[in-house]
Chains A and B, each alone.
Chain A
Amino acid sequence: MLLCEQQTPRGLNQLPRKKTEMELAVNITLLLMLCATVFAVVKLQSLFAIVMLFGIYSLLSAMIFVALDAVDVAFTEAAVGAGISTVLMLATLVTTGRWKKKPERSGLLPLFVVTITGAALVWGTLDMPEYGNPANPAHHHVADRYIAESPTEIGIPNMVTSVLASYRGFDTLGEVIVVFTALVGVLSLLQVRRPRTFARKQDNRPDTHRRRPYPVLQVVALIMMPFIIVFALYVQFHGDFGPGGGFQAGVIFAVAFILYTLTYGLDDSLALTPLPALKILAAGGVIIYGGTGVVSMLLGGNFLDYNVLAANPVSGQHIGIIVIELGVGITVASVLITVFYAFVTRAERNRAGEKQVDLPNKAD
């Protein structure tokens, strides 16, 4: 408790609190911009533009999450939507081509279905409780208890982390397993190329000027890499006190290596993070998480009951949360890096496959 009071900047107490009207105005404007973006996505034909606008859409919705007080969610949405999903979609476009070949099929029937469904949903909202009212039923079952007691019961200021990692630890375990399963699925569909340490140097492909790397970007990326990794560690271990935690930190780690791959190429990046190690780490994170549950069972508690991990229940909760967040971070980071490598391999192979018809030296 003392820790979080130190967090509040001292000079700010005199700042006016509760500018609710302005918050509302920001909210309304952002939502309108979101609608405009979506209509542009519906109308546009260039897939590349659609994916770029999807990036904007994600950034905007993350900003809306900030305006709706959900900072942890905003963090994750920015990381996952604007970051990873957009990058993966761009990589897919390299394989599939950038233009839609045909216009939409006749829009009338879909439009009819959509209008009917939308009208029914709007009719449904008329019975919904008013937005932002503290008396709404959604705020009065377990939520009350989480807000009132989690700071003393779990002992960490960020209630989202306590609920995520402790009260609803089962959910999060399931989710980590889903992420791991996605990796298994992606790797069974696409393969990751092994690094070519020797062939790359004497590669005598005709090097057009456009294929040269960007030296400025390489330098900037190199400056930023250590910074990003330190920031990832900060987010990982500061997640108890501020927005952050295992997912966000894992994605930031992945972003560091994605940046490296983009500027230096897949071979260098694969030499830095070997594929077998990534696979082991992805499984290792899940094992750390599940293992914490098993350890707490062996110590006489329930599965994922961290109270028994130390003599004092609160410090037991602390240990448990730090360990499972570490597991989550490791799994998410290694899964996302591997998935990205698989996508880039596919994108490059596709390009090479088209090209190598008239080139004598094969890639491997």
Chain B
Amino acid sequence: MFATAAAALLVIMCLALVRAFRGPKIYDRILAVNMFGTKTVLLIAVYGFMTGRPEFLDLGIFYALINFVGVIAALKFIERLDEYDEQEER
């Protein structure tokens, strides 16, 4: 049961990865990274149950956190980057 769930999560991660590669816009990539991170959190939880030792969910909590901060940082800096790039072109 957990093995199936883990396999499904791996498939989802692969698909998100494909979107992150293809991209076209940077926002698509950030979206894919966000989705990838969420599914990694779930995979950690499922993997813990699969191996019979699910105490390491602290890791999952932390991944969720770091994922959020990463996405916010990307958005905030891309905002400044856009301004900067416009400056350069002018």
- Asked if chains A and B are in direct contact (CB within 8 A), the reply is yes
Chain A contact residues, CB within 8 Å of chain B = 7-9, 12, 15-19, 22-23, 25-26, 29-30, 33, 36-37, 40, 46, 48-49, 52-53, 55-56, 59-60, 62-63, 66-67, 71, 74-75, 78-79, 82-83, 86-87, 90-91, 93-94, 97-98, 210-211, 217, 224, 228, 231, 234-235, 238, 242-244, 248, 252, 255, 258-259, 262-263, 347-348, 350-351, 354-355
**Mask of B54-69 contacts with A, CB within 8 angstroms, 1/0:** 1110110111011111
Complex Cα spacing A217 to B7, Å: 33
Complex Cα spacing A83 to B59, Å: 13
Chain B contact residues, CB within 8 Å of chain A = 3, 6-7, 10, 13-14, 17, 20-21, 23, 26, 29-30, 33, 36-37, 40, 43-44, 47, 49-56, 58-59, 61-63, 65-70, 72-74, 76-85, 87-88
In the complex, which residue of chain B has the Cβ closest to the Cβ of A52?
B29
Contact B70 A228, beta carbon cutoff 8 Å:
no
Q: Could you list 22 examples of A-B contacts with CB < 8 Å?
A: A19-B50, A37-B17, A52-B20, A53-B29, A59-B36, A59-B37, A63-B44, A82-B63, A83-B70, A86-B70, A90-B77, A91-B73, A94-B81, A98-B85, A231-B61, A231-B65, A235-B58, A252-B62, A252-B65, A262-B72, A347-B77, A354-B84
Complex Cα spacing A16 to B67, Å: 31
Complex Cα spacing A62 to B54, Å: 17
In the complex, which residue of chain A has the Cβ closest to the Cβ of B44?
A66
Interface of A is mostly: helix
Q: A19 contacts which chain B residues (CB < 8 A)?
A: 3, 50-51
Contact A258 B17, beta carbon cutoff 8 Å:
no
| New contact pairs (7) apart from A91-B73, A210-B83, A235-B62, CB-CB < 8 Å | A9-B54, A19-B3, A78-B59, A83-B70, A90-B77, A93-B81, A252-B65
Contact A75 B17, beta carbon cutoff 8 Å:
no
Contact B29 A49, beta carbon cutoff 8 Å:
yes
In the complex, which residue of chain B has the Cβ closest to the Cβ of A71?
B56
Among B43, B49, B65, chain A packs the most CB atoms within 10 A around the CB of: B65
Complex Cα spacing A97 to B83, Å: 11
Chain B nearest CB, measured from A258 CB (Å): 6
Contact A350 B84, beta carbon cutoff 8 Å:
yes
**Cross-interface CB contact of B56 among A87, A217, A243, cutoff 8 Å:** A243
Complex Cα spacing A48 to B70, Å: 13
Contact A79 B50, beta carbon cutoff 8 Å:
no
Complex Cα spacing A67 to B30, Å: 25
Counting from the closest, the 10 A-B pairs by CB-CB distance are A90-B77, A83-B66, A17-B52, A15-B52, A87-B73, A22-B3, A40-B21, A354-B87, A52-B29, A94-B80
**Cross-interface CB contact of B72 among A9, A71, A263, cutoff 8 Å:** A263
**Cross-interface CB contact of B85 among A59, A78, A97, cutoff 8 Å:** A97
Q: B23 contacts which chain A residues (CB < 8 A)?
A: 49
In the complex, which residue of chain B has the Cβ closest to the Cβ of A17?
B52
Q: B50 contacts which chain A residues (CB < 8 A)?
A: 19, 22-23
In the complex, which residue of chain B has the Cβ closest to the Cβ of A7?
B55
Contact A12 B54, beta carbon cutoff 8 Å:
yes
Q: A97 contacts which chain B residues (CB < 8 A)?
A: 84-85, 88
Given A12-B54, A83-B66, A87-B73: A56 and B88 interface contact (C-beta under 8 Å): no
Q: B29 contacts which chain A residues (CB < 8 A)?
A: 48-49, 52-53
In the complex, which residue of chain B has the Cβ closest to the Cβ of A4?
B55
